[in-house]
Amino acid sequence: MGITCVTACGAGSTDQPGGADISSGTRHLNLVAYAVPKPGFDAVIPAFRETETGHDIGFSQSYGASGDQSRKVARRVPADVVNFSVEPDVTRLVKEGVVDEDWKQQAPNNSTPFGSVVALVVRKGNPKNIRDWDDLLRPGVQVVTPNPGSSGSAKWNLLAPYAAKSNGGRDSRAGLDYVSELVRDHVTVVPKSGREATTAFEQGQGDVLISYENEAIMLSRDNGSVPADEQVDYILPPQTFKIENPVAVVNGSTDQSAATSFVDYLFTPTAQELWAREGFRPVVPEVIARTHDLFPGDIAKLWTIEEVGAVLGAGTAAGNDGKALTGWEAVDTALFGAKGAITEIYNAGGRQ
């Protein structure tokens, strides 16, 4: 259940995480990522550079809203490794010929080295008594969550209550009615990225921030160093959503072997421990077991993109060359694509 806070992951580039120079080396990699995992990479990259494989590899980093970052790479902004909030932002690069079609098979766990779950960040002491998704719809509760048009985190944020209210998509109208009321009556700030949403909340906007658990953990760690009115707690709703954040090697990389070595390192026990310490849920079973206490809270039902995609993709085979849509392809088509139901809700200001 509740604890607290989040870290920063500003947009832009940096080669000195925590004051450590990571740019030097005879080889060089450009990492282009969504905003939230910057603290994790700030820990993992220096550790990689201490290994025999990584000691002579320098890094440049760029962080921003996941969709925006993906579109930049599609326009051929220099990149060797990408890490996005959602799979469709990698799929865009496959369609553009920038990432290989078999990228999921190029690394363990479908090339997903870490993840999180959707959490609710509240003011210290939880003055609005927020416990579950219904509490966000109470009169006067103001919610901060980013725009799903630019932010991958926004998609995860909305999938959590949608899945909870629709029984994983089986009663889609119930899920959409919830999202519509949330957007129309309670979402008062719509930043471009998860990082910008966190910043807005830190600055005093809103009563509840829908966010990644790792952001909530890092925010809570700051409680001892910020004024009382900036301190937070966080809640894991009984039903929430599993966040999976993929990585991929860009096939136009000028140093494919270095890029592949770095991606492989992300799955090592050392790197997995570092991810966990920065609030991200590891994916390697032995590290999951070892770091269990870092992730307090009880989740009765953790919905997944595979599960909801199977429901939303049912009956789509006729319009898809005889093969039903699954996973993110099904979810994006039904909810977040140009004609998706949640896209239409946002375009109409929550009015269906």
At 275-312, the pLDDT tens digits run: 999 999 999 999 999 999 999 888 999 999 999 999 99
Spatial separation of the C-alpha atoms in residues 6 and 233, rounded to whole Å: 10
DSSP labels for 113-130?
Answer: -EEEEEEEEEETT-TT--
pLDDT of res. 352: 61
pLDDT at 16: 52
**Residue 1 DSSP class:** -
pLDDT of the residue at 5:
33
Structure tokens at 154: 């926004």
Apex 232 CA angle, 178 and 45, nearest 5: 95
Residue 160 and residue 214: Cα distance in Å, rounded? 16
> What pLDDT sits at residue 194?
83
Structure pTM? 0.89
pLDDT at 11: 36
Which residues, other chains included, contact 268 with Cβ-Cβ below 8 Å and sequence gap of 6+? Answer: none
The pLDDT of residue 17 is: 52
Q: Cβ(185)–Cβ(272) under 8 Å?
A: no
H or E element that contains 261: helix 256-265
pLDDT attached to residue 3: 37
Cβ 276 vs Cβ 291: under 8 Å: yes
Three-state SS sequence of 210-228: EEEHHHHHHHHHHHHHCCH
Cβ-contact 249, 256 below 8 angstroms: yes
Q: Looking at residue 12, what is its pLDDT?
A: 38
DSSP 332: I
Rounded CA gap, 302 and 118, in Å? 10
Low-confidence ranges of the chain (pLDDT < 70): 1-20, 350-352
pLDDT score at 18? 54
One-character DSSP codes across 31-90: EEEESTTHHHHHHHHHHHHTSTTTTTEEEEEEEE-HHHHHHHHHTT---SEEE-SSHHHH
